[in-house]
Amino acid sequence: MKPMSAIWPVVGTLAIGAAVAGLMARTTPTNPPMNETIKDAATGLMCQTTPPEREDKVILTDAEWKEKLTDEQYRILRNHGTEAAFCGPNLEPKGEGHYECVGCKLPLFGATKKFESGTGWPSYTEPYDQKNLWYRQDRSYGMTRVEVLCARCDGHLGHVFPDGPPPSGLRYCINGTVLNFIPKAD
């Protein structure tokens, strides 16, 4: 039999290890904590945990959104839905102009930044204005993705992936349902 003095350090180490593991299991968050900015390693985009502040913010009640939007727009923009590939509007090029948010009319993407990705969703290499979007890490479905949201109404638009063409190398994969095309004025 080993003396107790030889066994206790082993037992103690195991106990501490189990306690630390238990603590980590309890405290490791599934989503980032509030009010934090995290640089996404894959895209280099700064992801926030809370919406940006703007003077022109559009904040409506759930009932008001349902009144304002179609069922499909509401499902995607307000409820983080995704349209079926190749089934949404705004897939084909429409000429000069820009695409605005169906929820609040904020310009989101310029037509010149649109490209054919072959994915079945409207794809852009960069936003109309970086201030008009914000990003959030989306850890649903066992993946870490970058969610794109409208900065004025905080509506869900789609995701950004690091497999786009140069120079940005980014692919903004957006639900065409939540975009309205505005032709360039003559």
CB of 69 to Zn ion, least distance (A): 11
What tokens does 60 get? 């409506």
Both ends of the chain: CA-CA distance in Å? Answer: 94
The residue among 45 and 151 lying less far from Zn ion, judged by its C-beta, is 151
Applying the rule CB under 5 A, the residues between 134 and 153 that interact with Zn ion are: 150, 152-153
Binds Zn ion (CB under 5 A): choice among 47, 76, 104, 178: 104
Residue carrying the six token digits 């852009």: 124
Nearest distance in Å: CB 91, Zn ion: 20
With respect to Zn ion, which residue has the nearer C-beta, 17 or 76?
76
Point out which span in 13-21, 42-50, 59-67, 106-114 binds Zn ion (CB under 5 A): 106-114
Provide Rg for the chain, Cα atoms. 22
Distances (CA, A) of 170 to 19, 20, 160: 42, 39, 7
- Taking the least distance from each CB to Zn ion, the nearer of 104 and 170 is 104
Residue 108 interacting with Zn ion (CB under 5 A): no
Q: Is 122 in the site for Zn ion (CB under 5 A)?
A: no
Among positions 88, 110, 127, 155, the unique one binding Zn ion when judged by CB under 5 A: 155
Does 103 bind Zn ion (CB under 5 A)? Our answer is: yes
Q: Answer for the pair 125, 113: CB distance below 8 angstroms, yes or no.
A: yes
31 in Cβ contact with 139 (< 8 Å): yes
Smallest distance from Zn ion to CB 112, Å: 21
Figure out which of the listed residues 101, 148, 170, 178 binds Zn ion, where binding follows CB under 5 A: 101
Q: Is 110 in the site for Zn ion (CB under 5 A)?
A: no
CA distances in angstroms from 79 to 87, 94, 154, listed in the order given: 18, 27, 11
Least separation in angstroms between residue 58's CB and Zn ion is 6
Whether 87 is catalytic: no
Q: In sequence order, what are the beta bridge partners of 99? A: 109, 181
The C-alpha angle 69, 72, 78, rounded to 5 degrees, equals 65
C-alpha dihedral sign at 143, 144, 149, 154: positive
The residues that touch Zn ion, with contacts defined as CB under 5 A, are: 101, 103-104, 106, 150, 152-153, 155
